Structure 1
Amino acid sequence: MTDSLRVCSFESRRQSEMAALIERHGAIPTVAPSMREIPLEENPDALRFAAELLAGNVDDIIFLTGVGARALLDAATTKYAREELLSALDRCFVAVRGPKPFVVMREWGVHVDVRAPEPNTWRELLEALDAAEHSCDGRSVAVQEYGRPNEQFYAELRNRGANVIPVPVYRWALPEQTGPLEDAIRATVAGEFDVLMFTSANQITNVLTIAERLGLKDEWLAAAGRTFVASIGPTATEALTDDGLPPDFEPEHPKMGNLVRGAIAVAAESRNGT
């Protein structure tokens, strides 16, 4: 259909599924992978954390993602016994940001003291800690990172008296082939998309990095500001807003299907003036 919305997604891990979802809802997809997840094979931070954990020097641990929790244990077990690590974890106060790390803890047989409710951001996690009347004052609190460090979260924990121990276990790099992303950036500047879709906070960071390399950062931001921007959830929304692109749509529940269906419907209504 000639009047179909043209949607650009920056999804990387589930490219085919994203393209199929966009097509299913009557839009024309462009999927430009923006990220590559790199586990830290030799992770000194994870090994230092494991040593402190086994020595009884970690009071609390906060798991922010399921994949990060698994990566942390995988890195730690290159030097230490899995059973000893899990027993030591189970002796700590354990908090999780959402359902995925909760499932991992259940698989490991590690109890969970606090679980953040939806939309599963660090703010809900802090509220859950406060609701549980858990004091971080004077305690060593390890935080499994999930990309770029969340300095606001750390500041709030420190305000509560915590000694924060960031534990980065994976980083987001640019894709090995940046051609599709470069093409999408140029197409955005040319006004060829009706909707830009973000499924991760790190995507906007990498898009802006490549746009800057191309000498098009300001032009891309201006063009994106004239385009309907959709965010999968609060964490991505916060990153987009920080970069001057407050989203036009965020689904009630941070799921890819909800994002695609809702964004296309709202963008179509907006274009039609309804």
Structure 2
Amino acid sequence: MPSPDDKPLRVCSFESRRGAEMKSLIERHGAIATIAPSMREIPLTDNPAVFQFAEQLLAGGIDIVVFMTGVGATSLLESLETRYPRDLIFAALEKVCVVVRGPKPTAVLRGWGVRIDYRAQEPNTWREIMSIFDQSIPLQGRCVAVQEYGQPSVEFYHALTTQGATVLPVPVYRWALPTDIEPLRAAIRQTISGEFDLVMFTSAQQLHHVLQVAEEAGLRDQWLQAVHRDCLVASIGPTATETLSAAGLQVDIEPVHPNMGSLVKESIAAAETLLIAKKTGNHRRQAGQPER
């Protein structure tokens, strides 16, 4: 889909781990892709929280385990296997209620042969997990272990404790900036120069890192102003949307299904109309997408 001046749409994505796939998706839809990796996963190798989780799980002190990501679930098991037999961990998981946030941890646990009791519906946020608890699982007096992904989910933990649960966070990795941040710096400068029509975010943490690098370069306000002035903003789902909105950025496109393919397809399909509206002062969020 071209931009309003009939030139190919210029898209900047901050995807890291799946950057090559994102570039291919964008180009397949006829747009020009710039990939500026913004994140790096660092496993927590010296991680007493993982072994505290194992001790409580094996002792019967945990009632519910929530797996938030596939990568995190895999990292958790790999850490536990340095001290415990895999079969022992799986047998202990069979005795608790297992909840997963979305399709990736579902695939990992099914591959292990671990029973899944509940799976959150789209858009796969902590709110959908809380809906499961509200409808099916009383939390009063229960211990809920949560496999974290990157950073603690403070709002989720507050919601759990408000309903009487004890929360056991289980961090398995944290987010850091890429080793080479020059592509990210370059993308920030290109945004300020008006070289992009659309910026895409597949996680909230991407925005935190973009703003961190922009701040260090003395360009934070200029970058935010340039995005507001020149770019459409596409977000993969509610969590990223809330973070973007909190930073003062209007999210123009959020796909019906929170996955990368839908994000690219729906964003590029809607871009021409939305860019025309932006330039003529009739800017609206994509029809059918709720305000948050």
Which residue identity does 1:176 align to in structure 2? T
1:144 — aligned with what?
147
Residue pairs, 1:57-136, within 5 angstroms? 57-132=61-136, 134-136=137-139
Give 1:221 deviation, angstroms.
1.5
Give 1:116 deviation, angstroms.
0.8
2:261 — aligned with what?
257
SS at match of 1:80: coil
Give 1:142 deviation, angstroms.
0.5
1:7 — aligned with what?
11
Give the aligned length.
273
- The structure 1 segments of at least 4 consecutive aligned residues displaced by more than 4 Å after TM superposition are none
Q: Please state if 1:210 is matched with 2:218.
A: no
Give 1:242 deviation, angstroms.
2.3
| Contact 2:254 2:263 survives alignment (8 Å) | yes
Give 1:235 deviation, angstroms.
2.1
Unaligned runs of 5+ residues in structure 2 are 283-292
Residue pairs, 1:27-38, within 5 angstroms? 27-38=31-42
- Residue by residue over 1:19-51, the C-alpha shift from the partner in whole angstroms, topping out at 9 and shown as x without a partner, is 222222221111111111111222221111111
Give 1:238 deviation, angstroms.
2.1
| Contact 1:70 1:104 survives alignment (8 Å) | yes
Give 1:164 deviation, angstroms.
0.6
SS at match of 2:91: helix
Give 1:103 deviation, angstroms.
2.1
TM-score by length of 1: 0.95
Q: How far apart are the structure 1 equivalents of 2:183 and 2:90?
A: 42
Give 1:271 deviation, angstroms.
2.5
Unaligned runs of 5+ residues in structure 1 are none
Q: Please state if 1:223 is matched with 2:239.
A: no
- Residue by residue over 1:62-116, the C-alpha shift from the partner in whole angstroms, topping out at 9 and shown as x without a partner, is 1111111111111111111211111111111111111221222222222222211
Q: How far apart are the structure 2 equivalents of 1:139 and 1:89?
A: 15
TM-score by length of 2: 0.89
Q: How far apart are the structure 2 equivalents of 1:102 and 1:27?
A: 32
SS at match of 2:16: coil
| Contact 2:232 2:274 survives alignment (8 Å) | no
Give 1:61 deviation, angstroms.
0.9
Which residue identity does 1:48 align to in structure 2? Q
SS at match of 1:111: coil
1:169 — aligned with what?
172
2:190 — aligned with what?
187
What is the identity percentage for the equivalent residue pairs of Structure 1 and Structure 2?
56
Q: How far apart are the structure 2 equivalents of 1:117 and 1:88?
A: 25
Give 1:170 deviation, angstroms.
0.9
SS at match of 1:142: strand
Which residue identity does 1:172 align to in structure 2? W
User: 2:30 aligned to 11, 26, 31, which one?
Assistant: 26
| Contact 1:114 1:129 survives alignment (8 Å) | no
Moved more, 105-114 or 200-209: 105-114
SS at match of 1:3: coil
| Contact 2:234 2:253 survives alignment (8 Å) | yes
2:285 — aligned with what?
none
Give 1:229 deviation, angstroms.
0.4
| Contact 2:150 2:171 survives alignment (8 Å) | yes
Which residue identity does 2:140 align to in structure 1? D
Give 1:52 deviation, angstroms.
1.4
2:274 — aligned with what?
270
Q: How far apart are the structure 2 equivalents of 1:60 and 1:36?
A: 29
Q: Please state if 1:158 is matched with 2:161.
A: yes
Moved more, 216-225 or 149-158: 216-225
2:199 — aligned with what?
196
Give 1:175 deviation, angstroms.
0.4
Distance change >3 Å, CA 246–CA 165, structure 1 → 2? farther
Which residue identity does 1:42 align to in structure 2? D
